[in-house]
């Protein structure tokens, strides 16, 4: 476990009597991880961060000097990035863009708009002309391919609300080359078909499949493709399954024929989870331990209203126990020893569980549970105000400093 996390918890305890409940983000960990990712990336590729995985301002600031830019999927996210930098490249995607979103995106000079439907394309052509701005777009395509890797979350390769159906490409291109269009420029294609793929070799196959498809469209339509955005979706393992091997991915990709044939086309990646998941800790204290029938429950100060990922995915979230000494009551400290315990939160719903039947050597009231891998899609996807408990505190580790 990260020693700074323990240090921070100890110092917090010296000053506070209430049970701890906090998110701790290791900003230096994120930066070192991204630096090592960049080292092996092929020459023509660029790394963007999809901020929806964790839009914390400090994380965006920590990534600003390292990534090529940010991927955003709403005007709220877009303005958050612009609050940190006036000119960092932004990719703006997401289904159901509103008129005001397209107008603000034009005004805020995003680098590329990911067009998700023909209606959006038609509107954009009108707005761009009205504001007399030249707009670069990538068409997000939902492939009809049935052979994408199978993962927990799949957005493409089957019917979905995302992107433009592969069979409508001809129509999209004819709209773009039509006489009405003077200000919108087709620069390439965008794909984001799945999330949390753990297999590097299958990820390369998928990216190569994208490259082959684009190669065909280039030939059929005589297109000049500046950019192919191959999305995110690099996986993080929350159990014993081996994690995504980034270096295997980049080396197989670099060697592949499809990559070698890219010519001048740039290849973008826009991961979210893989960049931040491992560098967030959700820290909570055990406030009660109780037996009900043949099961034992440990109740936390905190729960799925702060970290909804385990409830959303129906998984057991990895954790470690930080034992605490000291018990001031005139009765025995409740505990479990060498047995199974189900770890639940403080909400009045049985869905508030973070780990079912965890095997523990020892867990006592007052001990601290540190949920690891809580940097992505944890706080940001949670129903924070359900039941009105106070929000967690947020701390940031930068080297040996934290605040």
Ligand X SMILES: *Cc1c(COP(=O)(O)O)cnc(C)c1O
The residue range among 16-24, 119-127, 268-276, 322-330 that interacts with ligand X, by the rule CB under 6 A, is 268-276
String marking each residue 289-328 x if it binds ligand X according to CB under 6 A: ----------------------------------------
Q: How far apart are CA 33 and CA 50, in angstroms?
A: 16
Query: 160 vs 212, which CB is nearer to ligand X?
Result: 160
Among 53, 105, 200, 311, interactor with ligand X by CB under 6 A: 53
**Do 235 and 313 form a contact (C-beta atoms < 8 A)?**
no
Under DSSP, is residue 341 helix (H, G, I), strand (E, B) or coil?
Answer: strand
Q: How far is the CB of 395 from ligand X (least distance, A)?
A: 23
Under the criterion CB under 6 A, does residue 374 sit at the interface with ligand X? no
Closest CA to 186 of 164, 154, 204, 205: 164
Task: Give me the residue whose beta carbon is nearest to ligand X.
Answer: 232
Q: How far is the CB of 275 from ligand X (least distance, A)?
A: 8
The residue range among 125-133, 226-234, 251-259, 339-347 that interacts with ligand X, by the rule CB under 6 A, is 226-234
Angle between helices 200-221 and 169-176 (to 10 degrees): 50
Q: How far apart are CA 277 and CA 354, in angstroms?
A: 16
Burial class (CB in 10 A: 0-12, 13-18, 19+), 342: middle
Number of residues that bind ligand X (CB under 6 A): 17
Concerning whether 348 is annotated as a catalytic residue, the answer is yes
Restricting to residues 180-209, which ones interact with ligand X according to CB under 6 A?
Answer: 192, 195
Q: How far apart are CA 317 and CA 269, in angstroms?
A: 27
Pairing assessment for the beta strands 153-154 and 135-142 based on DSSP bridges: unpaired
Among 21, 59, 60, 73, interactor with ligand X by CB under 6 A: 73
**Do 22 and 394 form a contact (C-beta atoms < 8 A)?**
yes
Under the criterion CB under 6 A, does residue 33 sit at the interface with ligand X? no
Under the criterion CB under 6 A, does residue 392 sit at the interface with ligand X? no
The residue range among 48-56, 286-294, 304-312, 382-390 that interacts with ligand X, by the rule CB under 6 A, is 48-56
Q: Which of 21, 187, 296, 348 is catalytic?
A: 348
Structure tokens at 38: 């960049």
Under the criterion CB under 6 A, does residue 142 sit at the interface with ligand X? no
Q: How far apart are CA 316 and CA 358, in angstroms?
A: 8
Under the criterion CB under 6 A, does residue 68 sit at the interface with ligand X? no
**Do 49 and 272 form a contact (C-beta atoms < 8 A)?**
yes
Under the criterion CB under 6 A, does residue 271 sit at the interface with ligand X? yes
What residues act catalytically? 348
Q: Where does this chain bind ligand X (CB under 6 A)?
A: 50, 52-53, 71, 73, 93, 192, 195, 231-234, 270-274
């Amino acid at each position: 476990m990260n020693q700074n996390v323990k240090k921070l918890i100890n110092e917090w305890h010296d000053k506070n009597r209430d049970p701890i409940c906090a998110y701790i983000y290791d900003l230096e960990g994120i930066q070192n991880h991204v630096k090592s990712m960049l080292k092996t990336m092929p020459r023509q590729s660029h790394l963007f961060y999809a901020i929806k995985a964790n839009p914390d301002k400090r994380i965006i600031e920590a990534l600003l000097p390292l990534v090529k830019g940010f991927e955003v999927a709403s005007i709220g996210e877009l303005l958050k990035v612009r609050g940190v930098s006036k000119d960092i490249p932004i990719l703006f995607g997401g289904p159901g863009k509103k008129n005001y979103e397209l107008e603000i995106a034009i005004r805020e000079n995003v680098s590329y708009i990911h067009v998700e439907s023909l209606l959006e394309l038609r509107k954009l052509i009108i707005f761009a002309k009205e504001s007399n701005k030249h707009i670069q777009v990538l068409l997000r395509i939902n492939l009809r391919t049935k052979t994408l890797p199978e993962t927990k979350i799949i957005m493409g390769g089957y019917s979905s609300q995302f992107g433009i159906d592969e069979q409508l490409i001809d129509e999209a291109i004819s709209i773009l080359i039509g006489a009405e269009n003077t200000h919108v420029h087709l620069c390439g294609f965008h794909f984001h078909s799945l999330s949390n793929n753990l297999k590097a070799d299958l990820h390369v196959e998928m990216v190569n499949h994208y490259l082959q498809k684009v190669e065909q469209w280039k030939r059929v339509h005589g297109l000049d493709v500046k950019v192919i955005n191959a999305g995110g979706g690099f996986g993080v393992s929350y159990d014993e399954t081996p994690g995504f091997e980034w270096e295997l991915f980049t080396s197989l990709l670099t060697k592949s024929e499809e990559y070698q044939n890219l010519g001048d086309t740039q290849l973008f990646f826009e991961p979210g989870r893989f960049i931040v998941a491992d560098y967030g800790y959700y820290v909570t204290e055990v406030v009660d331990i109780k037996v009900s029938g043949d099961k034992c429950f440990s109740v936390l100060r905190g729960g799925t209203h702060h970290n909804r990922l385990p409830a959303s995915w129906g998984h057991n979230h990895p954790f470690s126990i930080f034992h605490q000494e000291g018990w001031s009551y005139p009765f025995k400290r409740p505990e479990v020893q060498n047995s199974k315990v189900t770890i639940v939160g403080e909400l009045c719903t049985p869905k508030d569980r973070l780990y079912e039947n965890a095997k523990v050597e020892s867990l006592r009231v007052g001990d601290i549970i540190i949920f690891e891998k809580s940097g992505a899609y944890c706080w940001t996807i949670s129903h924070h105000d359900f039941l009105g408990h106070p929000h967690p505190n947020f701390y940031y580790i930068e080297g040996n400093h934290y605040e």
